[in-house]
Amino acid sequence: MKLTVIGHWGGYPKAGEASSGYIVEHEGFRLLIDCGSGVLSRLQTHFPVSQLDAVILSHYHPDHVADIGVLQHALLIQSFLGTKKKLPVYGHREDEQGFRSLAYRDVMEGIEYKGDSSVSVGPFTISFVKTRHPAPCYAMRIEADGKVLYYTGDTSFTESLILLANQADLLLCECNFYGGMDGSGAGHMTSIDAGRLAHQAGATRLVLTHLPHFGNLQQLVEEAGTAFNGTIELAAMNKVWII
């Protein structure tokens, strides 16, 4: 699997960048995880919109779905220009309005996933666990050819995340707060929470994402390292990992 960060900021994008959006590729299949503000613009620096094969959404907060409407219009315009495809977008129905907004004319189709089951999307098998966040949100275990990418979505620390993250080759973990802070009320993790999750899950590599707009971000890596002795890195726009 190949993971490319399109956007990694929490809440809103830094100037010229994007909030949550990640491309996972395997066997020529391109899956977009979350589609936040600025994602569509940045994605097109990698490949045309017409080459996107599927989208999956953790939840419906704007920093994770703001560009869905823009993506719909892009697909519609491309259909007028002769590139016709119906893009599958996977989401949960616990926010019915959010789910219903995914279907758009003949260019986008909303497909439900449920937290107690898994789905096959191209070459990927994706399983889910509900997170602890103000809006219904799901973490995802994405598997292909014996490799595991685990994406937390948005969440404060909860023991329920650990089992599904077991032995992840790469743990893409939200980290919106520094070690001395309390992110639980906002439904977000601290750097130390992220390190603890990686340690307890036995992950190989920890990548911190959904990053804050304040402070020294390298401090997040140092703090996570007090709980996890594996490789720890910060997500960054256009950064790539091979899993």
Residue 200 reports pLDDT greater than 90: yes
By the 8 A CB rule, do 68 and 89 touch?
Answer: yes
User: 199 — phi, psi (to 5°)?
Assistant: -65, -50
- Provide the pLDDT for residue 84: 85
- Provide the pLDDT for residue 102: 98
- pLDDT level of residue 70 (50, 70, 90 thresholds): very high
Average pLDDT value for residue range 210-238: 98
- pLDDT level of residue 10 (50, 70, 90 thresholds): very high
- Provide the pLDDT for residue 51: 97
Average pLDDT value for residue range 68-89: 95
Token couple for 46: 């990698």
Average pLDDT value for residue range 84-109: 97
Q: Could you read off the pLDDT of 132-174 as tens digits, one per residue?
A: 999 999 999 999 999 999 999 999 999 999 999 999 999 999 9
- pLDDT level of residue 97 (50, 70, 90 thresholds): very high
Average pLDDT value for residue range 96-116: 97
Give the Å distances, CA to CA, from 100 to 22, 52, 92, 93, 96: 23, 21, 10, 8, 6
- Provide the pLDDT for residue 49: 96
Share of the chain above pLDDT 90, in %: 98
Token couple for 187: 């439904």
- Provide the pLDDT for residue 196: 98
Share of the chain above pLDDT 70, in %: 100
Average pLDDT value for residue range 95-112: 98
Residue 235 reports pLDDT greater than 90: yes
- Provide the pLDDT for residue 77: 96
Average pLDDT value for residue range 178-186: 95
Average pLDDT value for residue range 84-106: 97
Nearest-5° Cα angle at 117, 112 to 122:
65
> How many CA atoms lie less than 13 Å away from 71 in the CB half-sphere?
35
